[in-house]
Structures are given as C-alpha cells and as structure tokens.
C-alpha cells in the first residue's frame, strides 16, 4: 500500500532539521529509521504532511561514553548497539534488549531514539530506558533540555517532545562494576512485539546490599511502566530469592494489559510477575550474588 | 456521469490530500545509476521493481515482517525495501538479487540454495539470499544458531527452514574457501 502523499525534507544537520520542524509546526514529523512510521503511514494510521528525514545527519549517529553516560544519537541504529563489543561486555541490560527488538533486518534501520519517541505501548526500548534511568535530550526553541525518561513518556504514542521539536539523543548512566541487568520478553515468534516484557537492572553496594533497582514492564498497559513499589522494596536490602519474589508480586498490581491475540489480560498480568522475577534473578546471578 | 466527471466531482474532497509530491531520486542499483522523478511516497521496493525494472525483489506481507523485499544498502546493510521510501536511498548504493550471478555463474549463495534444495516456490528466496549474504559478510563462520537468528526476519511458507540453513552453511564454507584462495577478495 502506498502511504498518503507528503512533502519530503532532507536534513543534513540538526539545525536544518530543527528549522524545518519549526517552519512546519504541527504538519511536520521526524523520519528516523521509519520502521514504525512507514508501516503506520502505509496503513493510513498516520498521514503527516511533511516528513523531515534525519537519516543524512551523520553527526547524530554515535554511540559513546561521556560524562558518566552512554550517549546514543538520534540516528544510531539498534544494530549498532547489538554489534559493539564494548557494549556487549559492559551493558548487560542493553545487550539483552538489542538482540530481541523486532527482527535483525528491522534492527539495521530502527533507531533507539526513534523507538522511545514513538512510545509504543509494547516498546522494548521505553521499558529499558525506564529501568536504566535514561534521560532524553530534546532540542527546543529555548535550546537543549534534558528530560528524565519518566517524564518523557507521557502516554501511548505521546512524549515530552513538543510540536516543532526533536530528540537529539538518549543518555544512559554508565553502569559500574556492581551493576547488572536483564531483559525478559515473551513473544509469539522472533520479530514480534512483546506479549509482555520486563526490564530489570540492579546495583549493589560494597557490602552486598542493593543500592539501586530499576524495574519496568511493557506491553502491560497504555505505556511502559516503572514498578516503583518493587524498586523501593529492594533498596538497602540484602538480595534473597524470597525478597525478589516479593518484589515481583508488585508488578501485576500496576499492570493493566488488554486481552488480544497474544493472550488474555489475566495471563499477561501474571506474566509481569513471572518476568520481573526472572529478570531480577538473572541480574543477581550476573552479579554473582544469588543467595537463598 | 463519465469517469472523468466523477473524478472532478470528487476532486474537491480530495484537494490537497493525495496530490503527489514529486522528487528526483538517483540510486545506484547493482552498479548502475537509475534516476527518476517519482512521488516522495514511493517505496524503495516499487522503485526497484517498476522504475528500475528489476523484479527479483518481491513484495509479500505488506506489513514489514516477511523480508521478501530485503535488499542491501551501501554494501551489506540488509533493509526491508517495503519499509523505506525510495527518496531515502537517494545517492546511495543498493544491491538486489540480480547482482549475485556474474556472467551466468551462480553466486555461492545461489549455488548453495540450489544444491541444498533451499527453495520450493522461490518467493522468499531473493530476500533469504540477500539476508544470508549480509550475515556472512559480518560473520563468515556462523553457527546454526547464528544462521537461524540471522534469518529470523525472513519468512518462508514452503520449505521449512532446515534446507535454507544448510544452504547458508554450504555458502559460508564455499565463500571462506574462495576468499582464502584469493587474497584480494579478503581485502574487500
Ligand atoms: C516487523 C517489525 C517488528 C517490530 N517489532 C518491535 C518489537 O518487538 N519491539 C519494539 O520495541 N519495536 C518493534 N518494532 C518497531 C521498531 O523497533 C522501530 O524501529 C522503532 O519503534 C521506531 O524507530 P525508528 O527509528 O524506525 O522511528 P520512526 O519509525 O522513523 O519514527 C517513529 C516515531 O517517532 C518519531 N521520531 C523518531 N525519531 C525522532 C526524533 N529524533 N525526535 C522526535 N521524534 C522522533 C517519528 O516522528 C515517529 O512519530 C518493530 C517494527 C517492525 C517493522
Ligand atoms: S514485503 Fe517487505 S517485509 Fe514483507
Ligand atoms: S520457497 Fe516458497 S516461500 Fe520460501
């Protein structure tokens, strides 16, 4: 199917993209990897009047560590994270996500920033950014502003990016040696959106107690959600399987999944508990700190 | 009412909605530059099939999931050409299945699909082969798991995947043998 007609603007720099977006206001839309936008346009679920193609902006294609953050540029593909050996070595949460988002071909075009900007209720990167306490850098009229992912994700397909603005990068705090994560996703087949998924990241203090916990679920409501009660329950505690089990019980309390061809609401609700539990256990195993 | 009158009557409703926005697009496809003025909304797969006349690249699912439209962008990046506008490939390099055989000699990947019965109807085959080529480029010695994972964005309705996996294994062997024999190939 052909999408509806649109005016195409090719941007070669962030300034060019921003100017075009400012000029077209509500009619303008950023075109990143197109892996969500183009299907939506083909189904005529979206018919933007103007597309601002940011793919030619090579200066936004980067993956680097700076000032304590892993910085992921707006045109950096999912595959770049998947194939970078240093990311594989040190970012266990990101590594376990980047291999299960969509399928390998889609990952060569889809971008991490595009995915959080799309804010699909079943997005994998949104939940990951929540668990890893990401920050999105937005270029707005008054210059740059940094928005914590919790405020960035407003509602299904809605983010803190306002009309005429664009996201420049996602920043993820660099995990220290006592931080590990895990992504747990149930899908019907490879390349499918999650039936339900959980992103988990744990940091330990030197004495073995939990310093920080990031826990988020996706495909379990209108938007990926932080399981704050579970996080709070873990902080300052010594991790035991009993405690992790108790924390996982918090997930179904906030989950509001819809029944669809991937499963009933009851099933998905219960899976949030199972997946959070598995994720916590795997993170702890990766920390070499499982205790009974 | 004639058809034209009908269109005119409808014209008011459609004003400004589907007026094609024309862009000039130049893409190097299999080494040859194809330049056309096309609607900006034209998908790359339609540019390849209808403007460049290369029909080896197929259209399948219309939902970005089957991978039969896979081509290689700028060397060895596999992309679903049904999920990319032709204008996004402007000034870039695209390789389709037609680039594989040279002078009537099948590419090792094609030969392997033939030898291992990796195809039946052949509909998925061009996409499978282009994805396999990209995979082998990155990972010349893939495990069975790597192959299954690497091809997981390509659906086949005919063969089951065992013979396809065997074909990619054969191609991997043939390609690494030929690059070992020809040192210049390894530098590419
Ligand atoms: C077959 C298939 C399976 C998939 N499976 C999954 C899956 O399992 N899990 C998953 O999470 N995703 C999945 N996806 C979606 C895919 O991962 C997309 O790549 C991703 O959601 C969007 O990234 P993109 O770069 O392609 O963005 P685009 O499609 O280009 O854009 C998406 C939206 O974000 C906006 N946007 C993009 N970049 C910016 C920016 N810098 N600033 C402001 N707005 C911006 C666009 O305007 C648009 O509204 C799947 C897609 C396909 C085709
Ligand atoms: S036709 Fe392109 S993925 Fe199916
Ligand atoms: S050979 Fe027929 S679809 Fe694969």
Query: What's the confidence (pLDDT) of residue B182?
Result: 60
Tens of pLDDT, residue by residue over B86-125, are 999 999 999 999 999 999 999 999 999 999 999 999 999 9
Using an 8 Å Cβ cutoff, are B178 and B171 in contact?
Answer: no
How many CB atoms are located within 10 Å of the residue A58 CB?
11
Query: What's the confidence (pLDDT) of residue B19?
Result: 59
Confidence class of residue A1 from pLDDT cuts 50, 70 and 90?
A: confident
Ligand 2, closest atom to CA B65?
A: 3
Q: Which of A2, A55, A108 sits opposite B41 (nearest CB)?
A: A2
Ligand 1, closest atom to CA A40?
A: 29
Q: End-to-end distance of chain B based on CA atoms, in angstroms?
A: 63
* Ligand 1 midpoint to CA B123 (Å): 27
Q: Is B164 in the pocket of ligand 3 (CB under 6 A)?
A: no
Give dist(CA A245, CA A287) in Å, integer. 17
Using an 8 Å Cβ cutoff, are B30 and B96 in contact?
Answer: yes
- Stretch 67-126 of chain B: residues touching chain A, C-beta under 8 Å: 67, 70, 77-80, 83-85, 87-88, 90
Number of cross-chain residue pairs from A and B with Cβ atoms under 8 Å apart: 90
Q: Which residues of B touch A4 (CB under 8 A)?
A: 17-18, 41
Q: What is the pTM of this model?
A: 0.93
Q: Is B124 in the pocket of ligand 3 (CB under 6 A)?
A: yes
Q: Is B180 in the pocket of ligand 3 (CB under 6 A)?
A: no
* Ligand 3 midpoint to CA B164 (Å): 10
Of the listed ranges A62-71, A205-214, A219-228, A282-291, the least confidently predicted one is A282-291
Ligand 1, closest atom to CA A194?
A: 8
A182: contact with B, CB 8 A cutoff: no
Tens of pLDDT, residue by residue over A109-143, are 999 999 999 999 999 999 999 999 999 999 999 99
Rg (CA), chain B: 20
CA distances from B96 to A75, A166, B78, B152 (A): 24, 34, 10, 19
Query: What's the confidence (pLDDT) of residue A163?
Result: 95
Closest residue in B to A55 (Cα) is: B88
Tens of pLDDT, residue by residue over A85-99, are 999 999 999 999 999
The alpha carbon of A135 is separated from its chain's Cα centroid by a whole number of angstroms, namely 11
Residue A13, pLDDT > 90, answer yes
ipTM score for this prediction: 0.94
Closest residue in B to A10 (Cα) is: B88
Return averaged pLDDT per consecutive 10 residues of chain B, 188 residues in all.
37 49 96 97 97 98 94 97 98 98 96 97 98 96 96 94 98 88 52
Confidence class of residue A291 from pLDDT cuts 50, 70 and 90?
A: low
* Ligand 3 midpoint to CA B159 (Å): 6
Residues with CB under 6 A from ligand 1: A 29-37, 39, 74, 101-102, 106, 110-111, 113-115, 117-118, 120, 123-125, 161, 166-167, 191, 193; B 64-65, 83
CA distances from A80 to A13, A104, A145, B64, B140 (A): 21, 11, 25, 21, 19
Ligand 1, closest atom to CA A74?
A: 41
Q: Which residues of A touch B70 (CB under 8 A)?
A: 105
Tens of pLDDT, residue by residue over A199-256, are 999 999 999 999 999 999 999 999 999 999 999 999 999 999 999 999 999 999 999 9
Query: What's the confidence (pLDDT) of residue A290?
Result: 65
* CA dihedral for A258, A264, A269, A273, sign (positive or negative): negative
């Amino acid at each position: 199917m052909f999408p509806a007609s649109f005016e195409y603007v090719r941007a070669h720099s962030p300034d060019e993209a921003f100017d075009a977006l400012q000029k077209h206001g509500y009619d303008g839309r950023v075109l990143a990897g197109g892996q969500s936008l183009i299907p939506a346009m083909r189904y005529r679920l979206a018919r933007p009047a103007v597309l601002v193609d940011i793919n030619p902006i090579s200066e936004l294609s980067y993956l680097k560590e700076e000032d304590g953050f892993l910085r992921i540029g707006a045109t950096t593909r999912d595959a770049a994270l998947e194939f970078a050996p240093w990311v594989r070595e040190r970012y266990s949460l990101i590594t376990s996500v980047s291999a299960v988002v969509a399928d390998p071909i889609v990952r060569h075009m889809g971008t991490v920033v595009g995915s959080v900007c799309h804010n699909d209720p079943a997005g994998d990167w949104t939940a990951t950014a929540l668990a890893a306490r990401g920050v999105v850098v937005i270029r707005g009229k008054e210059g740059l502003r940094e928005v914590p992912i919790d405020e960035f994700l407003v509602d299904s397909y809605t983010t803190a990016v306002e009309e005429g603005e664009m996201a420049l990068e996602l920043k993820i705090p660099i995990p220290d040696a006592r931080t590990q994560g895990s992504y747990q996703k149930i899908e019907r087949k490879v390349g499918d959106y999650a039936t339900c998924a959980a992103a988990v990241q744990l940091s330990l203090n030197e004495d073995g107690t939990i310093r920080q916990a990031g826990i988020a679920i996706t495909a379990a409501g209108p938007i990926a959600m932080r399981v704050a009660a579970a996080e709070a329950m873990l902080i300052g505690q010594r991790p035991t399987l009993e405690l992790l089990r108790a924390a996982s019980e918090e997930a179904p309390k906030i989950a509001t999944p819809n029944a669809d061809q991937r499963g009933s609401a009851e099933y998905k609700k219960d899976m949030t508990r199972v997946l959070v539990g598995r994720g916590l256990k795997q993170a702890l195993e990766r920390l070499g700190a499982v205790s009974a | 009412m004639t058809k034209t009158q009908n269109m005119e009557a409808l014209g008011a409703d459609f004003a400004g909605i589907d007026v094609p926005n024309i862009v000039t697009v130049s893409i190097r496809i299999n080494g040859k530059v194809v330049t056309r003025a096309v609607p900006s909304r034209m998908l790359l797969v339609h540019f390849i099939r209808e403007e460049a006349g290369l029909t080896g690249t197929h259209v399948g699912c219309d939902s970005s999931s089957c991978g039969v439209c896979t081509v290689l962008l700028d060397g060895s990046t596999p992309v679903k050409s049904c999920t990319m506008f032709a204008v996004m490939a402007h000034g870039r390099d695209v390789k389709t299945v037609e680039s594989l055989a040279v002078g009537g000699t099948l590419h090792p990947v094609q030969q392997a699909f033939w030898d291992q019965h990796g195809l039946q109807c052949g509909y998925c085959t061009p996409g499978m082969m282009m994805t396999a080529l990209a995979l082998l480029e990155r990972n010349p010695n893939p495990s069975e798991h790597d192959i299954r994972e690497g091809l997981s964005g390509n659906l086949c309705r005919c063969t089951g995947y065992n013979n396809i996996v065997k074909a990619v294994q054969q191609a991997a062997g043939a390609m690494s043998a030929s690059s070992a024999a020809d040192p210049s190939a390894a530098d590419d």
